[in-house]
Amino acid sequence: MKSSIIKSVLRYIEDTGDEIKEFRETLHANPELSLCERSTRDFILSKIPRKEFVCVHKFDDTYGFWVDVAFGGNASASSAAIRADIDALPIQEETGLPFASKNAGVMHACGHDAHAAMAFGALCAAVKHYDVLRENIKTGALRFIFQAAEEKAPGGALALIEKGVMKGVEAIFGIHVMPHIASGRFAICDGGIMAGGERLNVTLTGNGGHAARPEEACDLILLAGEIITSSQKLVSRNTSPLEPAVVSFCEIHAGAAGNILPSSLAFSVSLRSLDPVVLKNIRAGVEKIIKLRCEEYGASFLIEAVKGYPPMINEPGAVGKYLSAARNALGESGVVYPEKPVMGGDDFARYAQIAPGAFAFLGTGAGSETYPLHHPKFNLADSDILNGTKLLAALICEFAG
Ligand SMILES: [Zn+2]
Ligand SMILES: [Zn+2]
């Protein structure tokens, strides 16, 4: 039964490939920044099939929304959710594509246009196969989440969670296109797949002075140098080599002239780990180093902690469903398991803190013409979008017995 539904669903995706491609191109040409996705939302909503069993949940105070293909029974019971993000980035596009961004300085450089198209295609497949799916999925719904503001902390997932998007969700699935993985591949692992992160914005203050009289001043540049150097041992010496972690100093600002020791200095440091405990320990370590060194130098400090996203921990049961869908959609040779995690983050992790979740990567790499995510020349092939749509469509069949 399941295999005949899958066959029909995959054929449907092949047949409607042009529509899905156009859907993505329209989104790509009209990108909107995080928290500004009004026309993106309205465009997607205008394309949602109108049926009595299709329920749209949209709001006045967030452009994120979700669409249920409802099978009846308890209205709050939901079999499974698929999440796509819909926001773009402040980047001037340089692809030269016929459907390149019409909005100056804004670009879909993270593939969220493709994610939305894939989820839309899977939603249409669910609507088209409603009757046969309903025979097997007797209660609840298949939920398709179109989330705003993934690129901007604290992320648009929180707003939707507040609105009740996770009510009754038994499993949730997310996808991200990935140029460093070959096109046609699906990659996933159990446990941590994306890191949690936190940024510390630090300001040091102390007695400035003449460059020629250092004995009368507090040298904040030397102090910052010691803090930066000492912090490197937090990963190399204080964390197990088997626990991935990152301490990256990404900004430092001080000084205005070549003969003045400055009286203030600011830096920021990005901390990442796949394990919340490791992240907490690293943060405590950096704070301790700052405190001790500042005491030694007679400087003051102020630390502002900016929370990023939590680590994304894949639940093995949800991973199993994803793997089965990927084998059906892309074939055994298209499956990479277990894939290595990445130290970037995604606020999909917030959903997975509430219900079992699985986040996976869809390869879009195609040799030398491939550019990384967030690059002004980033693009992917139509076949990648088709692969992703098939994958998500096959995934909904996993819930059909
Ligand atoms: Zn991104
Ligand atoms: Zn992204």
Distance (angstroms) between ligand 2 centre and the Cα of 28 equals: 14
Distance (angstroms) between ligand 2 centre and the Cα of 325 equals: 22
pLDDT for res 75: 55
pLDDT for res 356: 97
Distance (angstroms) between ligand 1 centre and the Cα of 110 equals: 5
Given 93, 150, 198, 384, which residue is catalytic? Answer: 150
pLDDT for res 11: 98
The answer to whether 356 touches 317, Cβ cutoff 8 Å, is yes
Given 25, 37, 87, 384, which residue is catalytic? Answer: 87
Q: What is the CATH number of domain 2-193+311-397?
A: 3.40.630.10
Backbone torsions φ then ψ of 126, nearest 5 degrees: -65, -40
**Number of neighbouring beta carbons within 10 Å of residue 301:** 19
Annotated domain spans of the chain: 2-193+311-397, 196-307
pLDDT for res 152: 94
Q: Tell me which residues of the chain have a pLDDT lower than 50.
A: none
Query: pLDDT digits over 154-171, tens only?
Result: 999 999 999 999 999 999
Relative to the alpha carbon of 374, which ligand is closest?
1
Relative to the alpha carbon of 177, which ligand is closest?
2
The architecture CATH gives domain 196-307: 2-Layer Sandwich (3.30)
What pTM did the predictor assign? Answer: 0.93
Distance (angstroms) between ligand 2 centre and the Cα of 176 equals: 6
Residues with CB under 5 A from ligand 2 (ion): 110
What is the side-by-side order of every strand in the sheet holding 140-147?
54-57, 65-72, 140-147, 80-85, 172-182, 357-365, 186-187, 335-336
The answer to whether 112 touches 39, Cβ cutoff 8 Å, is no
Bridge partners (DSSP) listed for residue 67: 56, 144
Distance (angstroms) between ligand 2 centre and the Cα of 111 equals: 6
pLDDT for res 76: 62
Query: What SS3 class is residue 245?
Result: strand
The answer to whether 241 touches 295, Cβ cutoff 8 Å, is no
In the chain, the amino acid numbered 221 is: I
pLDDT for res 74: 65
Bridge partners (DSSP) listed for residue 342: 194
The answer to whether 119 touches 85, Cβ cutoff 8 Å, is no
The answer to whether 212 touches 259, Cβ cutoff 8 Å, is yes
Distances (CA, A) of 321 to 6, 185, 326, 353: 14, 16, 9, 18
Distances (CA, A) of 350 to 67, 90, 312: 19, 24, 8
Distance (angstroms) between ligand 2 centre and the Cα of 178 equals: 9
What does 206-236 look like in DSSP terms, one character per residue?
---EETT-GGGS--HHHHHHHHHHHHTHHHH
Active site residue 295: no
Residues with CB under 5 A from ligand 1 (ion): 110
Active site residue 347: no
pLDDT for res 207: 97
pLDDT for res 288: 98
**Would you say the CATH fold of 196-307 matches that of 2-193+311-397?**
no
Question: What gap in Å lies between CA 344 and CA 312, rounded to an integer?
Answer: 10
Distances (CA, A) of 61 to 5, 31, 58, 74, 162: 38, 20, 9, 27, 12
Distance (angstroms) between ligand 1 centre and the Cα of 177 equals: 10
The answer to whether 40 touches 32, Cβ cutoff 8 Å, is yes
